[in-house]
Structure 1
Amino acid sequence: MGKRSALPKHIQTLDSVLKMTRPSAIVAYVILVFVAFLSTGGLPSAGLLSSTLIAVLSAAAGGFLLSDYYDLYIDKVNRPDRPLPAGKITPAAVWVFSLFFYALSIWAASSLPLISFLFVSGNLFLLFLYATTLKKVGFLGNITVAYLTASVFLLTTSVVGNIAAGAVPAALIFLYMGALEVLKDMEDVQGDFKFGARTLPLTEKDLGKYVAMAFMALTIALSPIPYYLGIFSVNYLILILIVDLSLVLLMHSLWRDSSLSSAIFYVRRIKASIVLSMAAFILGVL
């Protein structure tokens, strides 16, 4: 007899959906929304705040599920422990929950200003395009993910009619995520090669390394600007300089060794740098 699951089927499905929505990323999006609002001078009404959060988080959840749905065969090589390739949830269930989150995001966005609604609608389309096509196109897919994450800041500031306030922080988020996505491609070369994904590390030797370093160098160059523009306080500047130092050290390591085994470690390091940068954003608006 086969080993029975410790959880009832419906509970296992819900547990899988929760894991597939990347709770750590969802928490990061919540923080970004609050920081973006506070950077414009304060929080909006409870109605606008809740609608923004539901629209952003539902879009993210739906996008993550859709991405995993179309990544099933690649994840059997790169991420076999994820719920879908591990058989803990069916592809049909993933598709249904993705549609539910898409609908919930559109519903919440309908109560936001028109420009914010257009942001959400456009992002939902990009999430679908990324999952079905752009993810396999390499650098264009990296840019799409970086934009989608950065656009949370732009979307949030658009809700209160001050989208300009979100431009520089969004640019920093874009650069951080661009570097992370390229490093993740370096980590995933085996599965990507097997299934024909055209990522930078598979296009030309060392190209991924150079592009990731370029993203990090631009991040360092732009990082003090939010302080000098008065968007964030000196608390931000102090911590972001520490983050910049961590990026310099990461660039040095990457220059010396860009092997697959090292790429796994570099992904962890840049994720730690991104967490620290989020802390700097938070301190900057307190």
Structure 2
Amino acid sequence: MLGDLMGYLVSSFWHVNLVQMVLSMLVVGLVAGGGYVINDYFDVNIDKINKPDRPIPSGRISGSKARKIALSMFVAGVLFSIPLGIVPFSIAMFTIVMLYLYAKDLKRTGIPGNLTVALTNGLSIFYGGSAYMEGDWLLKVILPTLYSFFLTLVREFVKGIEDYNGDKANSVTTLAVTKGIGTAWRISKILLILVIVVSPLPILFGFNLSYILLIVVAFIPSVVLSLIQKPSIESAAKARSYLKVSMLTGIVAFLLGSAPFIPKVYLSQHAYLILFQLLLSLH
């Protein structure tokens, strides 16, 4: 829901229609919640190995009840999307289908499953922009959507390392299982370095001083902390925690970076290239 809020405020530059914004957040929250529940329903055998304390494998909730809860949340999300228009309604329906297919089959396909999670997570931010959909909303919301996509993709690769034993036992073809933990770790680090290198890009679009400050003091350090972890199952949990911090600080950076009451910062192309080279030299 925070991602959707950020997407809406970035797209509108804080010109808020309260009903529109609240409906958008409700849709994303309900659809995402339904996705989590249906994922746990289909993952019960894997979770018995990896995370036996979760509600379904522990027996605190039955599978049939979990399925009904997921369906109820999906239906409610679709109903709330109708007043927002055809585009938000279509995105909500598409996301529900993808979440169901991911939980049922795609999770066991490795990279296609990882891409599905990254796409649906990025769409939670994009959805906020689609609810507003005025002026140059698409240009404004596409940057945080792409950041979310790539950070989530890396988090999925790292989660595959963390869950290596359970996934291998259940023939889940994650990147770590099919190519090895070392390869999965190297690919994750390459993607994270690319995210750091291009992180100054929003400055060219007039984001304010708070974006720069949060990127420098919170976002980049948390990404670096995940980068320096050792390529092992034990270290994967730490790396994933740091990536969660990166995701949160990135959302806040875009959220405050679009705020009209904070002074904007404009850099010339030459100054931006200097900053870009400085970040590149760190790696």
Q: 3-state DSSP class of the match of 2:20? A: helix
Say yes or no: does 1:188 pair with 2:179. Answer: no
C-alpha change, 1:249 and 1:54, in structure 2 (3 Å) is: closer
1:96 aligns with 2:85: no
Alignment match, 1:34: 5
Deviating more after overlay: 89-98 vs 257-266: 257-266
**1:195 shift after superposition:** 0.6
Question: Offset at 1:43?
Answer: 4.4
Counterpart in the other structure of 2:85? 113
Q: Which runs of 4+ in 1 moved over 3 A?
A: none
Measure the CA separation in 2 of the matches of 1:147 and 1:201.
Answer: 20
Q: Helix, strand or coil for the counterpart of 1:84?
A: helix
- Matched with 1:279 is 252
Once the two structures are superposed, residues 180-215 of structure 1 have per-residue CA deviations (whole angstroms, 9 ceiling, x without a partner) of 111111000011011110000011122211221122
Structure 2 gaps, min length 5: 260-283
In 2, Cα distance between the equivalents of 1:281 and 1:108? 26
Post-superposition offset of 1:99:
0.5
Q: Give CA deviations for 1:81-110 in whole Å, capped at 9, x if unaligned.
A: 111111000000000000000100110111
Matched positions, count: 253
Contact 2:226/2:238 (<8 A) preserved: no
Moved more, 275-284 or 257-266: 275-284
- What does 1:137-286 correspond to in 2, within 5 Å? 137-161=109-133, 162-205=137-180, 206-230=182-206, 232-242=207-217, 243-251=219-227, 253-254=228-229, 257-286=230-259
Q: Per-residue deviation at 1:223?
A: 1.4
What's the CA shift string for 1:141-183, capped at 9, x where partnerless?
Answer: 1111111111112111112212232111100111111111111
> Which is bigger in relative contact order (C-alpha 8 A, separation at least 6)?
2
Aligned partners of 2:211 and 2:18: how far apart in 1? Answer: 27
Say whether residues 1:56 and 2:51 are aligned partners: no
In structure 2, how many angstroms separate the alpha carbons of the residues matched to 1:266 and 1:216? 11
Aligned residue for 2:46, secondary structure, equals: helix
State whether structure 2 residue 101 is matched by structure 1 residue 125.
Answer: no
Q: Aligned in 2, Cα 1:42/1:67: closer, same or farther, shift over 3 Å?
A: same
The TM-score with structure 1 as length reference comes to: 0.84
SS in 2 for 1:111: helix
**2:7–2:127 CA contact under 8 A, matched in 1:** no
TM-superposed deviation, 1:281? 2.6
Change (3 A) 1:226 1:237: same
RMSD: 1.5
Distance 1:57 1:43 in 2: 22
Instruction: Measure the CA separation in 1 of the matches of 2:13 and 2:255.
Output: 14
What letter corresponds to residue 35 of structure 1 in structure 2? M
Q: Is the 8 A contact 1:62 1:99 kept in 2?
A: yes
The secondary structure found in structure 2 opposite 1:213 is helix
TM-score, normalisation: structure 2: 0.85
Distance in 1, matches of 2:253 and 2:139, equals 20
The residue type paired with residue 66 of structure 2 is: V
- Classify the secondary structure of the residue corresponding to 1:75: helix
- For the 8 Å contact 1:227–1:233, the answer to whether it is kept is yes
Q: Which amino acid aligns with 1:279?
A: V
Aligned mates of 1:274, 1:41 — CA distance in 2: 20
- Give the match for residue 87 of structure 1: 59
Q: Please state whether the residue corresponding to 1:110 is helix, strand or coil.
A: helix
